[in-house]
Structure 1
Amino acid sequence: MKLLWQKILKQKKLFVIAILVVAAIAGGGYYYQNKNKAATVPQQTIEAEVRDLTSVVAATGTIKAVNSVDISSKITAHIKEIKVKENEQVTAGQELVILEDTALQAQVTQAKERLDNAAIKYQRTSRLTSIGGTSTEALDNASMDYKIAQANYDEVMSKLDDTIIVSPMAGSVIGKPLSAGELVAQGVNNPTVILTVADMSKMQIEANIDQTDIGKIALGQKVTFTVDAYPGKEFSGMVTTISRKATVSGNVTYYPVTIDVTNAENLLNPGMVARVSVIVSESQGVLPLPLSAIRSDKTGKYVVVAGPNGQTQNVPVKTGNTGDDRVEIISGLSAGDKVVVAQVKAQSQAQTGNQQGSRQGGGARPMF
């Protein structure tokens, strides 16, 4: 009986070993199969093709009129009449504003009377002096009185002329003018602005360029820009001024750049925010690749080129100008070459598949 029991245990042990061997073979075969699949995971490639490459520096800025003038008064007075409206086109010399002149008219009348009296007195004194009827001192006094009266009259007449305000330039009325009856004050430092006239045909953008990009900016560079008011429409301009005086905002240093733009369609308005692209380089007929396709090691830059049978090869390249998301390939690559741009991603997906397969293989062993 004991001998029989030992024989049964021996056969059971051999059976367990056989099960383990079969499971190991099955698991190894599954791993080998998935490993081969991982090696053949398709890689994302693009075909190198000849095209143009543009490199830009992006910034934002505010649009303003090149020539504009705030219309104010040379005297303190109430507005009698505004002769123009907002957005109205005006010409140089056109009447814009009439100020109240009732008090000035009375002053002119009085000044004219004093001037006439002074003139009569001077003429009479001059005749008397010529015949010895009075002294030369009296003539000098009469002459002085006449000159003072003349100066007073000229001053009042000048103020009367200032009640009619004309446009110093051709342009458009920007914004709503003040209304009749409002008091306007004269002043050199802070006069009352009645209205603004601007030449809308010539505009400028004041853009701030980051200090890391200012070295790429040069006078005469072409500029494209957009504004929110006209989605999808692109405007053009040119860099005309590069300031050397920095401004700091949010711990970032900027340099102001002035861009001249034309407003032939009369669509742009002062105060609009422009999203600017300064074209710093343009390359025509080159081989640009996405930045994600460029790799580097201690020997330099290279790309991974895929062959017709799926094999890959590292090809050293020399790069040139850089665009928004592409870089020019100067040498090492030809048009038509297929370049890998997502090799790392494909390998990562394959590795994930292997890990899942290994877990599934392990979970299948109890079925034997």
Structure 2
Amino acid sequence: MRKQSAFILIVLVTILLISGTVWYFVVQQDADGAKVLEIAKAQKGSVAVQLQSTGIIQAQVGAIVKTGTRATGVIERMLVRVGDRVEKGILIAKIDDREQRANYVAQEAALRQAQAQLENVNKTYPIQIDQAQATLDGSLAQRRFTYLTWQRRIALVATGVLEQSSLDEAYQDYVVAATQAKSNKDALRLLEENYITDVINAVEAVVSAQAELDNASIQISYTEIYAPIDGLVSQVTAQEGETVVAGLQVANLITILDPTRLEMLIYVDETDVGTVTRGMPVNFTVDAYPSVIFRGSVSKIYPEAVIQDNIVYYQALVPLKPKTAIQLRPQMTTQCSIITKEIDSVLVVPNNAIKWVDGKQYVYIVDENNRATPVSPEFGTMGANNTEVLSGINNGDLVATRLILPSNQSKE
């Protein structure tokens, strides 16, 4: 019996405690008003109107370079792996170049042969021209001699000293000498023309051989692949021992990414794009660093729309500073806040201090006795965290950010 009486007594005390607690939170709150849980101060501050959207990190134009080769052959050495940091100009891969070097040696021989031919032309023709000039000079002298002989015999025949046959013989000698002189002159002119032609052909042969040698050197250079930019190796598509066949398109072997040259594309809804202009600040986060806020600014808005899930978006471009870009990766999804309007040095209250009661906005001002009095101030610009107060609240007033309203007041 005593145990049963004690149990009944405990139950009665528990019921009385619960009833007292309910009476305090219902009856007492109805009598005393709202119960303040947290407060904040109305003070001067800034209000930022933000447009929420999503974006994606991507590499800038030229930040990703796919490096390949125009040479055909077996990969002799692959000097990098994915994730390696490389500097512009260092050797990153080597292709077997024996075929290219054999061709280079053959072109060197062809060049030497062409040079020798040019040297031979310049050496032999001047000698031949000198000889032809000497022959011409001799024939010209012979022609003059026979001419003078012919003239003298004309006078001698006229006086009867010589016979007509002697005159005829002298004339015949002159004609033969004149013909020979003309022939030697034509031979000299032809030799000089041939000299010019052969020199031109020999020079062109040397130039052509040099060009072929230069091309052979270029073909050798294709077998050595150098890093075109500073960055990180993001892809390696072939390994040592594999054969690369160069066709109409260059075979891509190694992709290099410059991690400092990234940008962000923000997808702005067509209903909001009119509020976004160039130069607006942007704050954004990524899932990899949820507690870090990155910053940038809009540099341009692309004119062409992008349709995703039957929704029209316009892309706003935000270049990233190298210090910011180095922490991010291409294709990361971002949660963005575009600050479309920002005002400073105005009286503000936290957004959670504004309460809706019976369809109206109120702010509860807290006095020194922790009693909350509702007021209906005039609000200005509402931002993401704060709201501008135009009138109805003074600088320094304490306002309730969390409170329990009396049960006889309806709330929205």
**TM-score calculated relative to the size of structure 1:** 0.69
- Contact 2:77–2:93 (Cα < 8 Å) also in 1: yes
| Distance in 1 between residues matched to 2:216 and 2:252, nearest whole Å | 23
**Partner deviation per Cα, 1:337-368 (whole Å, 9 max, x = no partner):** 75799999956869xxxxxxxxxxxxxxxxxx
By how many angstroms is 1:289 displaced? Answer: 5.0
Match of 2:216, SS state, is helix
Contact 1:170 1:199 in 2 (8 A): yes
Distance 2:98 2:391 in 1: 84
SS at match of 1:151: helix
SS, match of residue 234 in structure 1: strand
- Cα–Cα, structure 1 residues 257 and 293, in superposed 2: closer, same or farther, change >3 Å? same
Worse overlay, 241-250 or 152-161: 241-250
- Over residues 59-78 of structure 1, what are the superposed CA-to-partner deviations in whole Å (9 max), with x where a residue is unaligned? 22222344332212233443
Q: Which of 54, 71, 92 is the equivalent residue of 1:75? A: 71
**2:331 pairs with one of 247, 265, 271:** 271
For the Cα contact (< 8 Å) 2:29–2:35, is it kept in 1? Answer: no
**CA apart distance, 1:234:** 2.7
Contact 1:100 1:163 in 2 (8 A): yes
CA distance in 2, matches of 1:111, 1:272: 52
| 2:274 alignment counterpart | 215
CA–CA separation in structure 2 for the residues paired with 1:41 and 1:95: 82
Is residue 55 of structure 2 the alignment partner of residue 55 of structure 1?
Answer: no
Taking the aligned partners of 2:239 and 2:258, their CA distance within structure 1 comes to 23
Query: 1:182-197, aligned counterparts within 5 Å?
Result: 182-184=242-244, 186=246, 190-197=249-256
- Cα-Cα RMSD: 4.0
Runs of 4+ deviating beyond 6 Å: 36-41, 44-48, 294-297, 306-314, 339-345
Residue 93 of structure 2 is aligned to residue 97 of structure 1: yes
Give a deviation string over 1:71-110, Cα, whole Å, max 9, x none: 1223344322122222222222111221221111111111
| Distance in 1 of aligned mates of 2:406 and 2:277 | 40
**What SS does structure 1 have at the residue aligned with 2:289?**
coil
Q: Deviations over 1:21-67 (max 9, x none)?
A: xxxxxxxxxxxxxxx99986955877662354333222222223443
Paired position in structure 2 for 1:121: 117
Q: Which amino acid aligns with 1:210?
A: D
Pair 1:214–1:283, CA change in 2 (3 A): farther
Which letter does structure 1 place at the counterpart of 2:380? T
- What does the per-residue CA deviation read over 1:268-313, in whole Å, with 9 as the maximum and x for residues that have no partner? 222222222223325455323538947799xxx8646679899977
TM-score, normalised via structure 2 length: 0.62
Q: Flag the structure with more relative contact order, 1 or 2, with Cα contacts below 8 A and sequence separation at least 6.
A: 2
| Distance change >3 Å, CA 282–CA 253, structure 1 → 2 | farther
Tell me, in whole angstroms, the C-alpha distance in 1 between the residues paired with 2:28 and 2:35: 16
What is the deviation of 1:209? 1.6
Number of residues paired by the alignment?
312
- Asked whether the 8 Å contact 1:303–1:339 carries over to 2, the reply is no
- 1:324 and 1:102 mapped to 2: Cα distance? 68
Q: How does 1:286-297 map to 2 (within 5 A)?
A: 286-290=347-351, 293=354
Q: Could you say which residue in structure 1 is the equivalent of 2:384?
A: 324
1:17-166 alignment runs, 5 A limit: 49-50=42-43, 52-66=46-60, 67-130=63-126, 131-132=128-129, 135-136=194-195, 137-166=197-226
Which has more helix, going by share of residues?
Answer: 2
Letter in 2 for 1:143: V
Q: Judging changes above 3 Å, is the alpha-carbon distance between structure 1 residues 140 and 229 closer, same or farther for their aligned structure 2 residues? A: same
Amino acid at match of 2:117: K
Change (3 A) 1:313 1:224: closer
Q: Do the aligned residues in 1 keep the contact of 2:35 with 2:405 (CA within 8 Å)? A: no
Secondary structure of the residue aligned to 2:241 is coil
Q: What are the equivalent positions in structure 2 for 1:349-364 lying under 5 Å apart?
A: none
Aligned to 1:33: none
Determine if contact 2:30/2:407 at 8 Å carries over to the other structure: no
Is the radius of gyration larger for structure 1 or structure 2?
2
8 Å contact kept, 1:73–1:185: no
For 1:237, which of 296, 314, 324 is the aligned residue?
A: 296
Amino acid at match of 1:49: A
Aligned partner of 1:179 in structure 2 is: 239
Report the more deviating stretch, 129-138 or 303-312: 303-312
Q: How far, CA to CA, are the matches of 1:318 and 1:235 in structure 2?
A: 30
- In 1, the alpha carbon distance for the partners of 2:291 and 2:363 equals 37
Identity of aligned residues (%): 22
* Distance change (3 Å), C-alpha of 1:89 and 1:341: closer
**Alpha carbons 2:286, 2:334 under 8 Å: kept:** yes
1:247 is matched with 306
Given the superposition, is the C-alpha separation of residues 127 and 79 from structure 1 closer, same or farther in structure 2, using an over 3 Å criterion?
Answer: same
Measure, in 1, the Cα distance between the counterparts of 2:222 and 2:317.
36
Gaps of 5+ in 2: 1-26, 130-190
